[in-house]
Amino acid sequence: MERKLVKVGLMGFGTVGTGVIRLIQGHQEDLFKQTGVSIEVAKILVRDKAKPRSIDGLDEQVTDKPDDLLQDPQIDVIVEVIGGIHPAKEYILAALEHGKHVVTANKDLMALHGAEILEKAQEKGCDVFYEASVAGGIPILRALVEGFSSDRITKMMGIVNGTTNYILTKMSEEGAAYADVLKEAQALGYAEADPTSDVEGFDAARKMAILSTLGFRVPLRLEDVEVKGISKVSREDIAYGKKLGYAVKLIGLAQRDGEEIEVSVQPTMVHKTHPLASVNGVFNAVYVHGEAVGETMFYGPGAGELPTATAVVSDLVTVVKNMKLGVNGRGMVAPYKEKVLKDDSNKLSRYFLRMIVTDKRGVLAQLTQLLAENNISLVQVLQQPYNAGAQAEIILVTHQAAKRDMDAVLAILADLDIIVEVKSCYRVEGEEE
């Protein structure tokens, strides 16, 4: 590539799009030193041209016509930050059809249609990079593709949603109720007016689908991810967890044993010795275990204008470098391995179980026998009076057990006379046995 200017078409002029323009305008010298070319935002696609913007002087670049970007032969790269599935999918596929490289921050789209988009990119010899779709400014996707290219990843475990991490952190630090902290998070702008995608785990599930597809080279889909949110987590759960040495976190887990894979998002008791237990506030972190390298962890801000925009511009720099080297289309590899999902008999975990029982002799022995009959043994037991001594509260932490066996126990407990209520059941990660 001999020319000294690369033109970019930016789709979206919201928070992240504004950050992308600020970085490109403010870092021209650094970008030129890294790439040997100047990078210019030639066109910006918006829905409403009349809407006021926080950056002035871009009236000539702003358009509401997608073809001004897609049909312009001078534009080499499309940066998509409009979000949503449609029309973003159609825009990206059209850009690839026209031989344009793509950088996107669109986790929803890549979680649902990433395999199709990557296959089209390979067919057309184009780059598609989407670092910002998973953990904002943390360079986790590039690490999976490049840093672990000679290793075999067996486990990825992460806090990949800052909103839920903020809520759980505040509940832990202040002993506050979930509903109260959620209102505070909404007032601060950390949670949306409709927080369902965050608090019910769907946002994290999309990110884990993307991580699993890349890390395991398998076409994981969103429906392959088992999802449970944090709306039922109580301050009592958090207090008892803390007493036993655990922090409650919404954990995305992707694990491979042999060729079998499981992917889930659920509130988890993380032992205080595990590095994820100390990731607090709106920060994200992804823990990766490789057969050769062992344990690594990536930590940083998971959202925001500049962290996310930094990941987008970093991907843009990679595209431009690839253009100079003539190696576009060889970076992100489309999934090529067969998907084999574990059944519940092969999903192994320790469990935290909290229940209210009738306060009479032999209850704990009866529970222990029930667990033993279902192949579950105990690590920790905590019992104390409840409801002024009329009942008892029992907290159990198990050794590793199959999900099938734990589900069978929970079904039996629901019908036992000695059980007043099963309050909660969580996976346990990180404890040293």
The alpha carbon torsion through 40, 309, 325, 336 (nearest 10 deg) reads -140
Residue 63 burial (10 A CB sphere; 0-12, 13-18, 19+): middle
Q: Which amino acid appears at position 389 of this protein?
A: G
Short-list 39, 23, 101, CA closest to 69: 101
> How far is Cα 335 from Cα 57, in angstroms, rounded to an integer?
43
Cβ atoms within 10 A of the Cβ of 427, count?
A: 20
> How far is Cα 221 from Cα 153, in angstroms, rounded to an integer?
19
359 token code pair: 């306060």
Describe the crossing of helices 305-325 and 15-26 by its angle, rounded to 10 degrees.
60
> How far is Cα 143 from Cα 371, in angstroms, rounded to an integer?
41
Residues marked active site are found at: 207
> How far is Cα 104 from Cα 78, in angstroms, rounded to an integer?
8
Q: Which amino acid appears at position 373 of this protein?
A: E
> How far is Cα 119 from Cα 7, in angstroms, rounded to an integer?
24
> How far is Cα 224 from Cα 219, in angstroms, rounded to an integer?
10
> How far is Cα 324 from Cα 228, in angstroms, rounded to an integer?
45
188 token code pair: 């601060």
> How far is Cα 273 from Cα 246, in angstroms, rounded to an integer?
9
Write down the residue that tokens 């825009």 correspond to: 91
Sign of CA dihedral 340, 344, 350, 352: positive
List CB contacts of 406: < 8 A, sequence separation 6 or more: 351, 374, 376, 398, 425
> How far is Cα 89 from Cα 42, in angstroms, rounded to an integer?
21
